[in-house]
Amino acid sequence: MQTATLLRRKSLRVAPLFAASLLAAAAFAAPVMAAAPDAGQAQYEPQVGQAGKDVVWVPTPQALVDKMLDMSQAKPGDFVVDLGSGDGRTVITAAKRGITAHGVEFNPDMVALAERNAKAAGVADKATFTAGDLFQYDLSKADVITMFLLPSINERLKPELLKLNPGTRIVANSFRMGDWTPDEEATVGDGCTNWCTALLWIVPANVAGSWSVDGKTLKLEQINQELTGTLGDAAISDARMLGNQISFTADGKRYTGTLEDKVLKGTVEGGGAWHATRA
Protein backbone atom coordinates (compact mmCIF):
# COMPACT_ATOMS: atom_id res chain seq x y z
CA MET A 1 0.00 0.00 0.00
CA GLN A 2 1.37 3.40 -0.91
CA THR A 3 1.99 5.34 2.29
CA ALA A 4 3.97 8.26 0.88
CA THR A 5 0.95 10.52 1.08
CA LEU A 6 0.48 13.82 2.75
CA LEU A 7 -0.33 14.19 6.43
CA ARG A 8 -1.59 17.74 6.58
CA ARG A 9 -0.19 20.18 9.12
CA LYS A 10 -3.50 21.42 10.36
CA SER A 11 -5.20 18.74 8.37
CA LEU A 12 -3.64 15.42 9.16
CA ARG A 13 -3.61 13.21 6.06
CA VAL A 14 -2.64 9.59 6.56
CA ALA A 15 -2.61 6.26 4.75
CA PRO A 16 -5.55 3.95 5.42
CA LEU A 17 -3.45 1.82 7.81
CA PHE A 18 -3.71 4.74 10.26
CA ALA A 19 -7.37 5.49 9.59
CA ALA A 20 -8.96 3.56 12.44
CA SER A 21 -6.83 5.08 15.18
CA LEU A 22 -7.11 8.55 13.69
CA LEU A 23 -10.87 8.39 13.42
CA ALA A 24 -11.01 7.33 17.06
CA ALA A 25 -8.86 10.35 17.90
CA ALA A 26 -11.05 12.64 15.82
CA ALA A 27 -13.70 12.86 18.50
CA PHE A 28 -11.20 14.84 20.58
CA ALA A 29 -9.78 16.99 17.79
CA ALA A 30 -10.27 20.72 17.42
CA PRO A 31 -13.28 21.86 15.37
CA VAL A 32 -12.78 22.59 11.70
CA MET A 33 -12.47 26.25 10.75
CA ALA A 34 -15.05 27.29 8.19
CA ALA A 35 -15.64 30.89 7.22
CA ALA A 36 -18.98 31.99 5.83
CA PRO A 37 -19.04 31.66 2.03
CA ASP A 38 -19.24 34.62 -0.29
CA ALA A 39 -22.70 35.44 -1.60
CA GLY A 40 -23.82 32.89 -4.14
CA GLN A 41 -20.95 30.51 -3.33
CA ALA A 42 -21.50 27.06 -1.88
CA GLN A 43 -19.48 26.49 1.27
CA TYR A 44 -16.93 23.69 1.28
CA GLU A 45 -16.94 21.88 4.60
CA PRO A 46 -14.26 19.22 5.07
CA GLN A 47 -15.43 16.22 7.05
CA VAL A 48 -13.35 14.39 9.62
CA GLY A 49 -12.34 11.08 8.07
CA GLN A 50 -13.07 12.19 4.53
CA ALA A 51 -11.22 10.27 1.82
CA GLY A 52 -8.46 11.82 -0.20
CA LYS A 53 -5.89 10.22 -2.45
CA ASP A 54 -5.18 7.10 -0.33
CA VAL A 55 -5.71 9.19 2.80
CA VAL A 56 -8.20 10.38 5.37
CA TRP A 57 -8.36 13.83 6.94
CA VAL A 58 -8.33 14.59 10.68
CA PRO A 59 -7.86 18.09 12.15
CA THR A 60 -5.06 19.01 14.58
CA PRO A 61 -5.73 20.82 17.87
CA GLN A 62 -5.08 24.55 17.91
CA ALA A 63 -3.06 24.12 21.12
CA LEU A 64 -0.37 22.27 19.19
CA VAL A 65 -0.36 24.83 16.40
CA ASP A 66 0.43 27.45 19.04
CA LYS A 67 3.13 25.29 20.61
CA MET A 68 4.86 24.63 17.31
CA LEU A 69 5.03 28.31 16.47
CA ASP A 70 6.27 29.06 19.99
CA MET A 71 9.02 26.43 19.71
CA SER A 72 10.15 27.78 16.36
CA GLN A 73 10.43 31.27 17.88
CA ALA A 74 8.70 32.62 14.79
CA LYS A 75 8.42 36.39 14.95
CA PRO A 76 7.47 39.37 12.80
CA GLY A 77 10.05 39.68 10.05
CA ASP A 78 10.21 35.91 9.59
CA PHE A 79 8.67 34.03 6.69
CA VAL A 80 6.80 30.89 7.78
CA VAL A 81 5.93 28.15 5.27
CA ASP A 82 3.40 25.49 6.27
CA LEU A 83 3.59 22.27 4.25
CA GLY A 84 0.17 20.66 3.93
CA SER A 85 -1.71 23.69 5.21
CA GLY A 86 -5.25 22.29 5.19
CA ASP A 87 -7.81 24.84 6.37
CA GLY A 88 -5.01 27.32 6.99
CA ARG A 89 -5.01 27.60 10.77
CA THR A 90 -1.21 27.44 11.18
CA VAL A 91 -0.70 30.13 8.55
CA ILE A 92 -3.53 32.22 10.00
CA THR A 93 -2.24 31.83 13.56
CA ALA A 94 1.20 33.01 12.44
CA ALA A 95 -0.36 35.95 10.60
CA LYS A 96 -2.28 36.96 13.71
CA ARG A 97 1.10 37.22 15.42
CA GLY A 98 2.23 39.68 12.77
CA ILE A 99 4.24 37.10 10.81
CA THR A 100 4.10 36.70 7.04
CA ALA A 101 3.13 33.08 6.36
CA HIS A 102 2.33 30.92 3.34
CA GLY A 103 0.61 27.54 3.11
CA VAL A 104 1.18 24.86 0.49
CA GLU A 105 -1.79 22.50 0.10
CA PHE A 106 -2.59 19.87 -2.54
CA ASN A 107 -6.39 20.08 -2.24
CA PRO A 108 -7.66 23.21 -4.04
CA ASP A 109 -10.93 23.15 -2.07
CA MET A 110 -8.92 23.34 1.16
CA VAL A 111 -6.92 26.23 -0.30
CA ALA A 112 -10.12 28.13 -1.10
CA LEU A 113 -11.40 27.44 2.42
CA ALA A 114 -8.10 28.63 3.95
CA GLU A 115 -8.25 31.84 1.91
CA ARG A 116 -11.77 32.51 3.15
CA ASN A 117 -10.69 31.80 6.71
CA ALA A 118 -7.76 34.21 6.37
CA LYS A 119 -10.06 36.88 4.99
CA ALA A 120 -12.58 36.36 7.80
CA ALA A 121 -9.74 36.64 10.34
CA GLY A 122 -8.58 39.91 8.79
CA VAL A 123 -5.10 38.60 7.93
CA ALA A 124 -5.35 37.91 4.20
CA ASP A 125 -2.51 40.37 3.62
CA LYS A 126 -0.11 38.20 5.62
CA ALA A 127 -1.65 34.72 5.18
CA THR A 128 -1.45 33.36 1.63
CA PHE A 129 -1.78 29.92 0.08
CA THR A 130 -0.68 27.88 -2.93
CA ALA A 131 -2.48 24.87 -4.39
CA GLY A 132 0.24 22.46 -5.39
CA ASP A 133 2.83 19.83 -4.60
CA LEU A 134 4.95 20.60 -1.56
CA PHE A 135 7.94 18.91 -3.19
CA GLN A 136 7.83 21.51 -5.97
CA TYR A 137 7.69 24.53 -3.68
CA ASP A 138 10.86 26.64 -3.23
CA LEU A 139 11.67 26.59 0.49
CA SER A 140 14.88 28.61 0.22
CA LYS A 141 13.33 31.83 1.55
CA ALA A 142 11.65 30.24 4.57
CA ASP A 143 12.86 31.10 8.06
CA VAL A 144 10.46 28.60 9.65
CA ILE A 145 8.86 25.51 8.13
CA THR A 146 5.93 23.81 9.83
CA MET A 147 4.58 20.42 8.86
CA PHE A 148 2.57 17.36 9.87
CA LEU A 149 3.72 14.66 7.46
CA LEU A 150 4.20 10.92 7.40
CA PRO A 151 7.69 9.72 8.41
CA SER A 152 8.28 8.58 4.82
CA ILE A 153 7.53 12.10 3.55
CA ASN A 154 9.74 13.63 6.25
CA GLU A 155 12.64 11.43 5.17
CA ARG A 156 12.06 12.30 1.52
CA LEU A 157 12.16 15.99 2.42
CA LYS A 158 15.20 15.70 4.70
CA PRO A 159 17.97 16.05 2.05
CA GLU A 160 16.42 19.26 0.75
CA LEU A 161 15.81 20.65 4.23
CA LEU A 162 19.45 20.08 5.17
CA LYS A 163 20.45 22.26 2.19
CA LEU A 164 18.56 25.27 3.55
CA ASN A 165 20.28 28.20 5.24
CA PRO A 166 21.81 27.23 8.59
CA GLY A 167 19.50 28.33 11.37
CA THR A 168 16.28 27.62 9.44
CA ARG A 169 13.81 26.19 11.94
CA ILE A 170 11.68 23.16 11.10
CA VAL A 171 8.92 22.12 13.46
CA ALA A 172 6.70 19.09 13.02
CA ASN A 173 3.81 17.41 14.76
CA SER A 174 4.58 13.93 16.13
CA PHE A 175 6.56 12.35 13.31
CA ARG A 176 10.34 12.23 13.17
CA MET A 177 12.81 12.56 10.33
CA GLY A 178 14.75 9.32 10.19
CA ASP A 179 18.21 9.60 11.73
CA TRP A 180 17.97 13.39 12.07
CA THR A 181 17.37 13.73 15.82
CA PRO A 182 15.20 16.70 16.89
CA ASP A 183 17.03 19.49 18.70
CA GLU A 184 14.01 19.93 20.95
CA GLU A 185 10.68 18.24 21.60
CA ALA A 186 7.72 18.99 23.82
CA THR A 187 4.28 17.56 24.48
CA VAL A 188 1.17 19.70 24.98
CA GLY A 189 -1.27 18.67 27.71
CA ASP A 190 -3.94 21.32 28.06
CA GLY A 191 -6.17 21.59 25.01
CA CYS A 192 -4.65 18.60 23.23
CA THR A 193 -5.53 14.92 23.57
CA ASN A 194 -4.07 13.27 20.45
CA TRP A 195 -1.11 14.07 18.18
CA CYS A 196 0.26 16.48 20.78
CA THR A 197 4.06 16.30 20.39
CA ALA A 198 6.03 19.08 18.71
CA LEU A 199 9.50 18.36 17.30
CA LEU A 200 12.01 21.08 16.40
CA TRP A 201 15.05 20.83 14.13
CA ILE A 202 17.47 23.66 13.39
CA VAL A 203 19.28 23.29 10.07
CA PRO A 204 23.00 22.87 10.87
CA ALA A 205 25.88 24.47 9.01
CA ASN A 206 28.17 21.99 7.27
CA VAL A 207 31.57 22.01 8.99
CA ALA A 208 32.84 18.56 8.01
CA GLY A 209 36.50 18.48 7.05
CA SER A 210 39.84 19.68 8.40
CA TRP A 211 40.40 22.95 10.20
CA SER A 212 43.57 24.61 11.49
CA VAL A 213 43.29 25.66 15.16
CA ASP A 214 46.30 27.33 16.78
CA GLY A 215 48.79 24.93 15.21
CA LYS A 216 46.56 21.88 15.68
CA THR A 217 44.31 20.16 13.19
CA LEU A 218 40.61 19.90 14.00
CA LYS A 219 39.14 17.03 11.98
CA LEU A 220 35.36 16.90 11.90
CA GLU A 221 32.95 14.30 10.59
CA GLN A 222 29.30 15.27 10.49
CA ILE A 223 25.97 13.44 10.31
CA ASN A 224 23.14 15.96 10.41
CA GLN A 225 23.94 18.14 13.46
CA GLU A 226 26.09 15.53 15.23
CA LEU A 227 29.91 15.81 15.07
CA THR A 228 32.77 13.42 15.75
CA GLY A 229 36.49 13.86 15.20
CA THR A 230 39.76 14.93 16.77
CA LEU A 231 41.60 18.06 17.84
CA GLY A 232 45.26 17.23 17.48
CA ASP A 233 45.65 13.83 19.11
CA ALA A 234 42.58 14.19 21.35
CA ALA A 235 39.15 12.85 20.42
CA ILE A 236 36.33 15.34 20.65
CA SER A 237 33.08 14.51 22.45
CA ASP A 238 29.62 15.96 23.05
CA ALA A 239 29.99 17.73 19.72
CA ARG A 240 27.20 19.23 17.64
CA MET A 241 26.03 22.07 15.44
CA LEU A 242 22.97 24.18 16.26
CA GLY A 243 22.55 26.25 13.16
CA ASN A 244 25.85 28.15 12.87
CA GLN A 245 26.81 27.45 16.48
CA ILE A 246 29.36 24.74 17.28
CA SER A 247 30.22 23.11 20.59
CA PHE A 248 32.55 20.26 21.54
CA THR A 249 34.86 19.04 24.30
CA ALA A 250 38.53 18.18 23.78
CA ASP A 251 41.25 17.52 26.39
CA GLY A 252 38.72 18.26 29.11
CA LYS A 253 38.01 21.75 27.75
CA ARG A 254 34.67 22.93 26.39
CA TYR A 255 34.85 24.81 23.09
CA THR A 256 31.94 26.91 21.84
CA GLY A 257 31.85 29.12 18.80
CA THR A 258 30.14 30.27 15.63
CA LEU A 259 30.75 29.80 11.93
CA GLU A 260 31.05 33.25 10.37
CA ASP A 261 32.33 33.96 6.87
CA LYS A 262 33.81 30.44 6.62
CA VAL A 263 35.72 30.89 9.90
CA LEU A 264 35.04 29.12 13.19
CA LYS A 265 35.72 31.27 16.21
CA GLY A 266 34.69 31.34 19.84
CA THR A 267 35.81 30.81 23.40
CA VAL A 268 37.23 28.02 25.54
CA GLU A 269 35.63 27.33 28.90
CA GLY A 270 37.80 28.73 31.66
CA GLY A 271 39.13 31.57 29.51
CA GLY A 272 40.73 32.09 26.13
CA ALA A 273 39.61 32.27 22.55
CA TRP A 274 39.96 29.95 19.58
CA HIS A 275 39.94 30.51 15.85
CA ALA A 276 39.80 27.96 13.03
CA THR A 277 40.17 28.18 9.28
CA ARG A 278 39.81 25.47 6.67
CA ALA A 279 43.03 23.48 6.39
214, HSE (Cβ side, Cα atoms, 13 Å):
10
For residue 25, is pLDDT > 60? no
Say how far apart CA 197 and CA 252 lie, in whole Å: 36
Share of the chain above pLDDT 70, in %: 81
Parallel, antiparallel or unpaired: strands 144-147 and 79-83 = parallel
Say how far apart CA 79 and CA 195 lie, in whole Å: 25
Instruction: Compute the average pLDDT of residues 205-217.
Output: 95
279: exposed, middle or buried (Cβ count in 10 Å: 0-12, 13-18, 19+): exposed
152: exposed, middle or buried (Cβ count in 10 Å: 0-12, 13-18, 19+): middle
Judge contact between 130 and 105, C-beta under 8 A: yes
Nearest one of 76, 52, 166, 55 to 126, comparing CA atoms: 76
Range in 48-52, 175-179, 253-257 with the lowest mean pLDDT:
48-52
Say how far apart CA 279 and CA 261 lie, in whole Å: 15
Instruction: Compute the average pLDDT of residues 215-223.
Output: 96
- For helices 89-96 and 62-72, give the axis angle rounded to 10 degrees: 60
Q: pLDDT for 181-202, tens place per residue?
A: 999 999 999 878 888 999 999 9
Say how far apart CA 267 and CA 272 lie, in whole Å: 6
Specify the higher pLDDT residue, 111 or 53: 111
Q: pLDDT for 141-195, tens place per residue?
A: 999 999 988 888 899 999 999 999 999 999 999 999 999 999 999 999 987 888 8
Say how far residue 173 (Cα) sits from the centre of its chain. 9
- Split at pLDDT 50, 70, 90, the class of 35 is low
Predicted TM-score (pTM) of the model is 0.86
6, HSE (Cβ side, Cα atoms, 13 Å):
21
Q: Is 226 helix (H, G, I), strand (E, B) or coil?
A: strand
Q: Where are the domains of the chain?
A: 11-25+53-202, 209-278
Say how far apart CA 237 and CA 13 lie, in whole Å: 40
158, HSE (Cβ side, Cα atoms, 13 Å):
19
Topology of domain 11-25+53-202 in CATH is Rossmann fold (3.40.50)
Per-residue b or e along 229-239, where b marks 16 or more CB atoms closer than 10 Å to that residue's CB: bebeeeebeeb
Say how far apart CA 200 and CA 211 lie, in whole Å: 29
Res 49: pLDDT: 66
Cβ within 8 Å of residue 191, ≥6 positions away: 61, 62, 63
Specify the higher pLDDT residue, 28 or 200: 200
Res 43: pLDDT: 79
Amino acid making up residue 18: F
**Helix spans in 59-98 (H):** 62-72, 89-96
